[in-house]
Structure 1
C-alpha cells in the first residue's frame, strides 16, 4: 500500500483564510488530533484574509495559513462516503472580504488520533525544540508500513501531528471526484516541503 502526504495548494486566485473562527479552541489544539466538536462554536465563520484582497476563488481544499484543512461540502461528502472513522468535521461558513457569506457548507477537517507511521531510524528529521516528542522538520521521510493500521485511510502521524497522510485508494477517489485545491507527494522519501 502506498501513502501520500496531503497538503493544500496556494493558488494565485484562491481566497486565503488566516484565522480560526471567533470563539474557537486555542489554535494549538487543532494540531493535537483530539476531538474539538464540544468546544467549537456554533455557526462558526471564517473570513477571507484582508492581506489578499484580490484572491476570492473557492476550492474543495481552501487555501489557509493555519496548517488546517478547510474542506467543501463536496469533499466532506466524499470523505464520509469512504468511511474514514477518525474524521471529525467542524462546520464553518466562508465570508468574503466584505463580510458576505459566500459558502455555508465548508468544514475544518480534524483527523483524530494518529498512526505510528514514521520510521524514526531511517527518516532524517529535527525534533521540535518546544515539544520534544514531536518532529519539527522532516528532511527525508521513511515510513513503517507494518505499524500503520489496515483501517487507516487518512491519518495524522503520531510523531508529527501536523503531517496528514492518505492511502492510495483515497487519493484515487479524490482524483476521480475532481476535488480541487489539494496536492500530494509520495510519502516515502518526501523532503518535508509545503507544510
Structure 2
C-alpha cells in the first residue's frame, strides 16, 4: 500500500483562511498537539481559533493550513477519517473565527492521532542529528516491513508533527463529491525489503 505525507501549509489559494495560533485557552498544553498525546479534559470547552491577521483569506477549506502543525479539518473530512482510520485518535471540535472576531464556522475539528508509529527506514531516510539528538527529518523513506499494522492516519515516531495518510484513506477522499479542498499530499518512498 502507498502512503503520503500531508502538507499542513498549502499555499495554493490565497482566498483560503490560514491559522497561526492554537485554540484559545489551551495554554501550556499545546505540546500535546505536537506529540500525539491525549488532551482529554485539558481541551477547552468551546475551543476557538482565530484566522491569522497576516493572511487576508477568509474562505474555509476542508483542510485549514496553519503554522502550528495541527490537522484542522471540516466535519466532512473528519467523518471520512473517523470512518476509515482504526488507529487511536482524538477528534477535538473547534470553532473558527474570522478576522473581525466573529464565528465563521463551528463545524471544524482538530484531528489528534495518538502516539507515534515506528515506520521509517532510518538508514535510507535523510535525518539530521546533533550530538546524538534528532534535529530534522529531511527525507522520509518508509520501511515496508514496519507498515503491516499501520493505521490509515498516523504520526511518524521521529517527527510527530508529520501526518501520514494511507492509500485507503486517500481513495475515500478521491471518491467524495465534491473532493476535499486544500488537501495536498506528498508521495512517500518505501525502501526495498
The two structures have a TM-score, normalised by structure 1, of: 0.87
Give the match's secondary structure for 2:145. Answer: helix
Counterpart position of 1:192: none
Residues matched between the structures, number: 185
Cα separation, 1, equivalents of 2:131 and 2:38 = 23
Q: How far is the alpha carbon of 1:131 from its aligned partner?
A: 9.4
Distance 1:131 1:21, change over 3 A: farther
Question: 1:62 Cα shift?
Answer: 0.6
1:136 & 1:182 partners in 2: Cα distance?
27
Matched, 1:158 2:160: no
Show the counterpart of 1:46: 49
Query: Is the Cα–Cα contact under 8 Å of residues 117 and 150 in structure 2 kept in the other structure?
Result: no
Question: CA distance change for structure 1 residues 123 and 111 in 2, over 3 Å: closer, same or farther?
Answer: same
Matched-pair contact (CA < 8 Å) for 1:37–1:90: no
Aligned to 2:4: 4
Partner SS for 2:18: coil
Work out which of the residue numbers 77, 80, 83 in structure 2 matches 1:81: 83
Structure 2: segments with no counterpart, 5+ residues:
none
Tell me if 1:173 matches 2:175.
no
Instruction: Provide structure 1 residue ranges, at least 5 long, that are not aligned to the other structure.
Output: 190-195
Q: 1:17: how far off? A: 1.1
Change (3 A) 1:145 1:60: same
The answer to whether the Cα contact below 8 Å between 2:93 and 2:110 also exists between their aligned partners in 1 is yes
Deviation at 1:7, TM superposition (A): 1.4
For the Cα contact (< 8 Å) 1:35–1:88, is it kept in 2? Answer: yes
1:87 CA displacement? 2.0
Aligned partner of 1:147 in structure 2 is: 146
Alpha-carbon distance between aligned partners in 1 of 2:88 and 2:113, rounded to the nearest angstrom = 6
Is 1:101 aligned with 2:103? Answer: yes
Distance 1:5 1:85 in 2: 17
Pairwise CA distance, 1:38: 1.6
| TM score, norm. by length of structure 2 | 0.88
Which of residues 25, 32, 37 is equivalent to 2:35? Answer: 32
Do the aligned partners of 1:17 and 1:46 also contact (CA within 8 Å) in 2?
yes
Find runs of 4+ consecutive structure 1 residues off by over 3 angstroms.
none
- Asked whether the equivalents of residues 44 and 92 of structure 1 are also in contact (C-alpha less than 8 Å), the reply is yes
**What are the superposed Cα offsets for residues 128-154 of structure 1, whole Å, 9 maximum, x if unpaired?**
x5992xx43233321112112425111
Q: CA deviation at 1:70?
A: 0.6
